[in-house]
């Protein structure tokens, strides 16, 4: 029997949200000014990428609705079945490449094999390109960037050279690349981009530290109850051109590069961060696109779902998903670019003081532990509250080589889930910043309009920053009494109701126990928000709470209450913690 290992609940959650209108596949593109050699591409992947066992493993789904999924070594693994070559049709320019990639990104990966594939695209502007497609269940964006960088070298002289076949003795050794030049590259890849990382979305309240606190007993904190309530009561996003029914066709585009030094000039002049500037510029680009489609943005906002990395930047390369989720509302209704930038900063700063990333991480992990029907409902609920996925991944600060050839540009496209039809991806590489846009054909048939607006918005902001003022432009000061970082407040109440109605405390040493409990808490709050009125409820005297199985509780509600004697105490704890939190603030 092939070797197996249990798939984490977070990784499995990505399998559950995969669908025909939105494939949970991260697509990345490397562009070269010269042709690449296909045999050398295959040999390099064999020596470096396959040192990560996950790329030789396929997924085995559970037979029942509550079983565990597994990673299993593929007994028929053939590297060449995952690495293909394509000749780009004439004239082999950018428009043809965009059309080719757009036709490929909606294709599902073969679930009978490891969930990844590479394409060598030849005849692109006299050079070539590599398109990599990797399912999100294998790893998150930050981990995959590190993996891809482990395939590269800082100079062409350091590039890996395949030894002659006669010198290779014995079987293939998966540790060989880690003991040779790849080890140096992998180690350097971990440290790449740390300067940007310190200013990006990844530093929101140090979520990894919050996760440690959760494991030590930070249960149902006042802040936690508030975040759960916010998520359960979240209204739908404003109706714009970015919301609507999805097709199965996607279009991709990418921007011209912007010098990172120019972005830093703007952030230094305005007292913001690199991330604030880039998000504000993208917000302006979305506003321009709305106007071009006759959609008046006045008074409107667009909510973006933002993945947040929670892995420490000093960790070795480790596959799997260690990310959380926040909602960021983009102020597309603000016309003035500086006012828009300062409003984005204000909202980003508020998120940095919130444990929202911790809570969503645990809820996402919980999706892999509940029946698929419940997971799908929660997935649809969260996706319905946003119009876009927005991600910022820091890359290396110097340009790199693959197989001795210089990688001129790097682009990637983030997957969307549920009913979201727009993905926005920011990537820094070699002192340059590029934005990738992937959009549903029904909603945004011309994503090139967004990347053109992105360039125009940045040029405008850059010109404003260069104005010959004697004083720097600064955002308004925060009001007095603003808490610089949200405190995690311990709660002594730890009540969980099992399916049979017996009270039980979660084992806070077990991350899955915490995930299950937080997910159950969220479902209870959502059920309270969605409960029908007495006029429409066919069983008005039945408890309105939901069990872990997603079913309505069978017990009778207490007098003058919507809940039975078991669930009533639990709801009281939530409201008590919220009140205590308000008093502390």
pLDDT band at 497 (very low <50, low <70, confident <90, very high): very low
d(CA 15, CA 489): 34
pTM score of the predicted model: 0.74
Minimum mean pLDDT range among 20-34, 446-460, 521-535:
521-535
d(CA 514, CA 526): 18
Give residue 350's pLDDT: 82
Give residue 513's pLDDT: 58
d(CA 332, CA 329): 9
Judge whether 548 and 499 are in contact, CB under 8 Å: yes
- Residue 192 predicted with pLDDT over 60: no
**Mean pLDDT for the stretch of residues 464-484:** 58
Minimum mean pLDDT range among 129-138, 160-169, 190-199, 316-325:
190-199
pLDDT band at 343 (very low <50, low <70, confident <90, very high): very high
Torsion of CA 472, 475, 476, 480, to 10 degrees: -110
Q: Is the peptide bond before 534 cis (omega within 30 degrees of 0)?
A: no
Write the pLDDT tens digit of every residue in 563-573: 777 766 554 44
Over the chain, what is the mean pLDDT? 75
DSSP secondary structure letter of residue 320: B
Give residue 528's pLDDT: 60
Give residue 357's pLDDT: 65
The H or E element spanning position 330 is strand 323-330
Give residue 188's pLDDT: 41
d(CA 151, CA 159): 9
Minimum mean pLDDT range among 212-221, 353-362, 566-575:
212-221
Give residue 382's pLDDT: 75
**421 vs 184, which has greater pLDDT?**
421
d(CA 270, CA 283): 17
Minimum mean pLDDT range among 217-221, 242-246, 463-467, 556-560:
217-221
Write the pLDDT tens digit of every residue in 42-61: 999 998 999 889 999 999 98
Strand bridging mode 388-393 / 422-429: parallel
Give residue 195's pLDDT: 33
* Nearest residue to 562 (alpha-carbon basis) of 532, 542, 536: 542
- Residue 505 predicted with pLDDT over 50: no
Q: Which contacts qualify for 461-466: CB closer than 8 Å, 24 or more apart?
A: 461/266, 461/277, 461/280, 461/281, 461/284, 461/337, 461/338, 461/341, 462/262, 462/265, 462/266, 464/337, 464/338, 465/265, 465/266, 465/269, 465/270, 466/265
pLDDT band at 314 (very low <50, low <70, confident <90, very high): low
Residue 258: strand, helix, or coil? strand
Give residue 377's pLDDT: 74
Residues 6+ apart with CB under 8 A from 565: 555, 558
Six-digit token pair at 485?
Answer: 């970082």
Alpha helices in 156-302 (DSSP H): 176-179, 181-191, 194-197, 207-216, 222-232, 260-270, 274-292
Judge whether 211 and 361 are in contact, CB under 8 Å: yes
* Nearest residue to 373 (alpha-carbon basis) of 537, 528, 548: 548
d(CA 460, CA 198): 26
| % of the chain with per-residue pLDDT over 70 | 63
The H or E element spanning position 72 is strand 70-73
Edge to edge, the sheet with strand 401-402 lists 83-87, 116-124, 127-135, 25-32, 405-413, 401-402
- Residue 438 predicted with pLDDT over 80: yes
Secondary-structure breakdown of the chain: helix, strand, coil percentages, each rounded to the nearest 5 = 40, 20, 45
**Which residues lie across from 405 on neighbouring strands?**
402
Residue 409, CB-side half-sphere exposure with 13 Å CA sphere: 22
Six-digit token pair at 29?
Answer: 């593109």
Give residue 167's pLDDT: 38
pLDDT band at 148 (very low <50, low <70, confident <90, very high): confident
Write the pLDDT tens digit of every residue in 93-144: 999 999 999 999 999 999 999 999 999 999 999 999 999 999 998 988 777 8
Edge to edge, the sheet with strand 4-6 lists 4-6, 70-73, 57-60
Write the pLDDT tens digit of every residue in 248-264: 999 999 999 999 999 99
- Residue 285 predicted with pLDDT over 90: yes
d(CA 244, CA 418): 12
d(CA 417, CA 136): 11
Query: Domains (ranges, CATH) in the chain?
Result: 201-216+233-397+413-465 (3.30.559.30), 496-584 (no CATH)
Judge whether 325 and 191 are in contact, CB under 8 Å: no
Give residue 508's pLDDT: 38
pLDDT band at 538 (very low <50, low <70, confident <90, very high): low
Pick from 170-179, 394-403, 429-438 the range whose average pLDDT is largest.
Answer: 429-438
pLDDT band at 187 (very low <50, low <70, confident <90, very high): very low
Residue that the structure tokens 């009978």 belong to = 112
Give residue 263's pLDDT: 95
Minimum mean pLDDT range among 77-81, 173-177, 535-539, 559-563:
173-177
Minimum mean pLDDT range among 80-84, 305-309, 341-345, 580-584:
580-584
d(CA 409, CA 446): 22
Angle between helices 356-367 and 511-530 (to 10 degrees): 100
**319 vs 1, which has greater pLDDT?**
319
* Nearest residue to 545 (alpha-carbon basis) of 573, 526, 559, 558: 526
Please report, for residues 12, 518, 577, the alpha-carbon distance to residue 367 in angstroms, rounded to integers and kept in the order given: 8, 11, 25
Give residue 514's pLDDT: 53
**387 vs 372, which has greater pLDDT?**
387
**Mean pLDDT for the stretch of residues 263-274:** 94
Give residue 315's pLDDT: 53
């Amino acid at each position: 029997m092939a070797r197996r290992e249990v798939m984490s609940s977070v990784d499995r959650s990505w399998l559950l949200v995969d669908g025909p209108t939105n494939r949970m596949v991260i697509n990345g593109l490397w562009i070269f000014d010269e042709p690449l050699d296909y045999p050398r591409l295959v040999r390099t992947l064999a020596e470096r990428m396959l040192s990560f066992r996950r790329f030789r493993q396929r997924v085995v789904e559970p037979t029942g609705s509550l079983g565990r999924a597994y990673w299993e070594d593929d007994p028929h693994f053939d590297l060449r079945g995952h690495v293909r070559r394509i000749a780009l049709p004439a004239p082999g320019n950018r428009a043809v490449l965009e059309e080719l990639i757009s036709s490929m990104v909606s294709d599902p990966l073969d679930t009978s094999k490891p969930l990844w594939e590479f394409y060598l695209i030849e005849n692109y502007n006299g050079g070539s390109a590599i398109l990599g497609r990797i399912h999100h269940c294998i790893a998150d964006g930050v981990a995959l960037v590190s993996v891809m960088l482990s395939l590269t070298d800082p100079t062409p002289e350091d590039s890996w050279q395949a030894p002659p076949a006669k010198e290779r003795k014995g079987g293939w050794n998966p540790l060989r690349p880690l003991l040779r030049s790849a080890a140096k590259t992998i180690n350097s890849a971990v440290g790449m981009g740390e300067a940007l990382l310190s200013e990006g979305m990844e530093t929101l309240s140090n979520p990894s530290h919050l996760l440690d606190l959760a494991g030590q007993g930070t249960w149902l904190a006042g802040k936690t109850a508030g975040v759960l309530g916010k998520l359960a009561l979240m209204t739908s996003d404003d109706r714009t051109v970015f919301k609507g029914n999805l097709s199965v066709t996607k279009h991709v585009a990418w921007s011209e590069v912007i010098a990172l030094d120019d972005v830093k000039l703007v952030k230094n002049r305005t007292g913001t961060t690199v991330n604030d500037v880039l998000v504000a510029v993208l917000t302006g680009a979305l506003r321009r696109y709305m106007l071009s489609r006759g959609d008046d943005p006045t008074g409107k906002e667009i909510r973006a779902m933002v993945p947040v990395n929670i892995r420490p930047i000093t960790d070795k390369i480790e596959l799997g998903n260690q990310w959380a989720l926040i909602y960021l509302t983009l102020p597309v209704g603000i016309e003035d670019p500086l006012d828009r930038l300062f409003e984005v900063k204000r909202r980003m700063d508020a998120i940095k003081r919130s444990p929202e990333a911790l809570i969503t991480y645990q809820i996402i992990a919980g999706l892999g532990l509940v029946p698929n029907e419940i997971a799908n409902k929660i997935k649809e609920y969260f996706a319905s509250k946003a119009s876009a996925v927005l991600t910022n991944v820091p890359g290396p600060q110097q340009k790199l080589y693959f197989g001795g050839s210089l990688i001129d540009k790097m682009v990637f496209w983030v997957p969307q889930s549920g009913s979201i039809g727009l993905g926005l991806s920011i990537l820094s590489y070699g002192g340059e910043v590029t934005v990738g846009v992937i959009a549903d054909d029904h909603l945004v048939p011309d994503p090139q309009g967004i990347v053109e607006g992105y360039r125009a918005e940045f040029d405008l902001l850059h010109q404003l920053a260069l104005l010959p003022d004697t004083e720097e432009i600064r955002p308004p000061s925060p009001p007095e009494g603003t808490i610089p970082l949200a405190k995690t407040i311990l709660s002594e109440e730890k009540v969980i109701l099992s399916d049979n109605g017996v009270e039980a405390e979660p084992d806070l040493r077990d991350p899955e126990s915490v995930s299950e409990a937080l997910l159950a808490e969220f479902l209870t709050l959502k059920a309270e928000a969605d409960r029908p009125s007495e006029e429409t409820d066919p069983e008005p005297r039945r408890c309105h709470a939901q069990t872990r199985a997603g079913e309505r509780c069978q017990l009778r509600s207490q007098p003058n209450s919507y809940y039975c004697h078991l669930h009533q105490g639990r709801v009281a704890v939530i409201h008590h913690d919220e009140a205590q939190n308000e008093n502390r603030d």
